[in-house]
Amino acid sequence: MASSLPGPPDLISDMVQPVDLVNSVQHPAVVTLEQHHSLPADLVIGNNHRMPVDMLGDLPSTSSTEDHSPDAESPDITSDRLDARWFSRGTGSNGVPAGVPMPTSKDAETYNMDHRRRGKAYVFNHMNFDPRLQLRPRNGTNCDRDNLRINLRQLDFEVEVYDDLPFKEIERILENASLEDHSDADCILVTVLSHGELGILYASDQPYKPDRLWSHFSADKCQSLAGKPKMFFIQACQGDQLDHGLNMSRTETDAGAASYKIPNHADFLIAYSTIPGFYSWRNTTAGSWFVQAFCHVIQREAYSRDLLSIMTRVCRKVAFDFQSNVPGDYVMHEKKQIPCVTSMLTRDVIFTRK
């Protein structure tokens, strides 16, 4: 049994496991350490410490307004419009081609994975946190860290692992990574293992918004990764709901190709361990269900399937092969989980052998 912090055991390993639980607030703001202790707690466990949960923030609401543009008054003119009331011209380039080399032709179905290097993989692992945050240790996360390091190295990534970093260090590392020359690399991969709340993740010292992980790597800010896969995997809860489940019964490269323009936020893949609003489960000895499943599928199918097909199989394994087993606590007993994958990829990612 695990110490003084009981939690539901994983059905696969029959080991006691804590879940990344917390109370959920509908729209909490990102707070400082000084403010954090004053937040309301809807869910207390054990020694009355709030346990954090990661949730995706709501998309900005949009409202329609009358279109006063000249085109709106002319039914003979066809144009593309914005489905938003306000828009920003952005802070990046002005859209004028800057002569960035194409990693592959416009109509290629797969990304070019034949560069000299696979690329960098960053693993930000968080087990212990500043006491002022009142976050419980994430026992079992080091198993996730080690499994990811082994499997990503087998895929020829140059893996950099960091434990319990403060936010400024995480941001410094990622900003420096975006300034490197990735011209001879296939892609980049970033993994975060941590606690969080609605629309935020936790570094060891403070909360931060998840988009701070990938904002440095948009095509206009990191041109040597433009048109290349940028993959982000986040192991954390996304809410305070439990998935009760339902019983089912039987009844590349072309020198002559024309140039083309891409969106700055194309070619990203962001995978969360669970869907918005729900818990994510972690075993204290074997690691999280999500990372266990990811490593299991990658070991067997990394070179035979594209990444989205792999992630579909990861989702299936988490959904069908894992279930909480807590007979003494009916609230936590026999609960399920399903990962959530958001893809802005424009081609298939297939890891060719180096």
Residues involved in catalysis: 195, 237
Distance between CA atoms of residues 122 and 202, nearest Å: 16
* Bridge partner list, 269: 231, 343
Distance between CA atoms of residues 81 and 328, nearest Å: 56
Distance between CA atoms of residues 148 and 168, nearest Å: 23
Whether the Cβ atoms of residue 193 and residue 288 lie closer than 8 Å to each other: yes
CA-nearest of 99, 107, 106 to 260 is 106
| Other Cβ atoms within 10 Å of 251 Cβ, number | 3
Half-sphere exposure of 273 (CA within 13 A, CB side): 31
Whether the Cβ atoms of residue 104 and residue 112 lie closer than 8 Å to each other: yes
Residue 30 token pair: 């990102």
* Radius of gyration for the chain, computed over Cα atoms and rounded to the nearest angstrom: 22
The residue with tokens 């991969």 is 189
Phi, psi of 52 (to 5 degrees): -80, 155
Long-range contacts of 318-321 (CB under 8 A, 24+ apart): 318/273, 318/289, 318/290, 318/293, 321/12, 321/293
Residue 274 token pair: 């669970």
Amino acid at site 354: K
Residue 201 token pair: 């993740």
Burial annotation 6-39 (CB, 10 A radius, 16+ → b, else e): bbbbbbebeebbbbbbbbbbeebeeeeeeebeee
* Bridge partner list, 179: none
